[in-house]
Amino acid sequence: MKPVSRENDSIYIKGIGKTADRVLGAFMLILSALVLFPVVFIFLISFSSEESIIKNGYRLIPDEWSADAYRYIAKSLGYIMRSFGVTAVITIAGTVLSLFLISTMAYVLSREYFRLRKLYTMLIILPMFFGGGLAATYAVNTQLYDLKNTLLALILPGACSSWYIIVMRTYYRQNIPEEILEAACLDGASQWRIFRQFVWPLSKPIIVTIGAFEAFSYWNSWYPNLLYTDSNHSGMYTLQYVLYNLEKSATFLATNDRISGAIATRIPTESYRMALAVIIMVPVLVTYPLFRKFFVKGLTAGAGK
């Protein structure tokens, strides 16, 4: 095995280290470009004219530029903004509730002296392998809990994830110094105070990571609307569900034989789909870089141990 040398705080394999580093850097740049390319491509297509797409298909540089897709979206701007507000409320409330449920349950399961720890761990893991099914879930939420046509139906079913509980429990056990918790306990602090003043501040990386994933999940959620919200309660539609309905309506108008050709040709169906995708992606693309360092630290914490 070749010796390892350190230069400028970077580790290289002697003789080929710098070359390998350059090759790896070039590879990562290419990989980043490949990941970014579809996003840029969708954005450019959304500004393509419908005639250009029909004639030449999807092109990186269209023959004719047009903002018709965004003008068409602007006609439903009030509808979209209302759904945006609903989605924001659901995302904030759902994320806060999810973090509270997940973090507290994970803390309890991380304590060795909790006698029912193994039983509750097994009960939490079981839903990861065996689900109750759609019919049973719908019956429980609508008949037992009476969540039909309520905002709680869009929040509670996804508020607690077994996987995130296990991930956070592992983080607590490997990254929270036991000595601190024991000292606080000897000083007479309650378990709630220990969790609030010691465990929570020391868990920012995993809290931010799981919180971001939960927020993205609520932001992209549309299926609960399909299950639990009737058409006469459209004021509770989320942004994703509204955009889904708008895209479906545009496709219907463009393909229905009863619609005159003159009307159908004015609907920018293809570019409209891409414009909707842009609206969906923008908040995620703006938010993700702000929490990137927490994602990396939260997901890799304890891996070396």
* CA separation for the pair 179, 177 (Å, rounded): 5
* CA separation for the pair 278, 67 (Å, rounded): 13
Question: Judging by DSSP bridges, how do beta strands 10-13 and 4-7 pair with one another?
Answer: antiparallel
Residue 117 clears pLDDT 50, i.e. is over it: yes
By percentage, how much of the chain surpasses pLDDT 70? 83
Domain boundaries of the chain, sorted by first residue? 68-305
pLDDT in tens, 57-91: 788 788 888 888 888 888 878 888 888 899 999 99
What pLDDT was estimated at residue 136?
Answer: 86
By percentage, how much of the chain surpasses pLDDT 90? 12
pLDDT in tens, 152-174: 999 998 888 899 999 999 889 88
pLDDT in tens, 278-305: 887 777 777 767 666 665 655 555 444 4
Residue 197 clears pLDDT 90, i.e. is over it: no
* CA separation for the pair 271, 21 (Å, rounded): 41
* CA separation for the pair 103, 168 (Å, rounded): 7
What pLDDT was estimated at residue 9?
Answer: 45
Average pLDDT over residues 38-56: 83
Per the model's pLDDT, the better-predicted residue between 177 and 165 turns out to be 165
What pLDDT was estimated at residue 102?
Answer: 94
Continuous segment of H or E residues that includes residue 6: strand 4-7
* CA separation for the pair 292, 286 (Å, rounded): 11
What pLDDT was estimated at residue 253?
Answer: 59
Per the model's pLDDT, the better-predicted residue between 220 and 21 turns out to be 220
- Name the pTM for this structure: 0.74
CATH architecture of 68-305: Orthogonal Bundle (1.10)
Residues 13, 4: contact at Cβ < 8 Å? yes
Residues 20, 13: contact at Cβ < 8 Å? yes
Report CA-CA distances (Å) from 34 to 27, 44, 96, 164, 299: 11, 16, 35, 30, 24
Per the model's pLDDT, the better-predicted residue between 277 and 89 turns out to be 89
Residue 8 clears pLDDT 70, i.e. is over it: no
pLDDT band at 93 (very low <50, low <70, confident <90, very high): very high
Average pLDDT over residues 259-266: 50
Show contacts of 117-123: CB within 8 Å, 24+ apart: 121/169
pLDDT in tens, 13-42: 444 567 787 888 888 889 888 888 888 888
Per the model's pLDDT, the better-predicted residue between 63 and 262 turns out to be 63
Residue 51 clears pLDDT 60, i.e. is over it: yes
pLDDT band at 99 (very low <50, low <70, confident <90, very high): very high
* CA separation for the pair 65, 52 (Å, rounded): 8
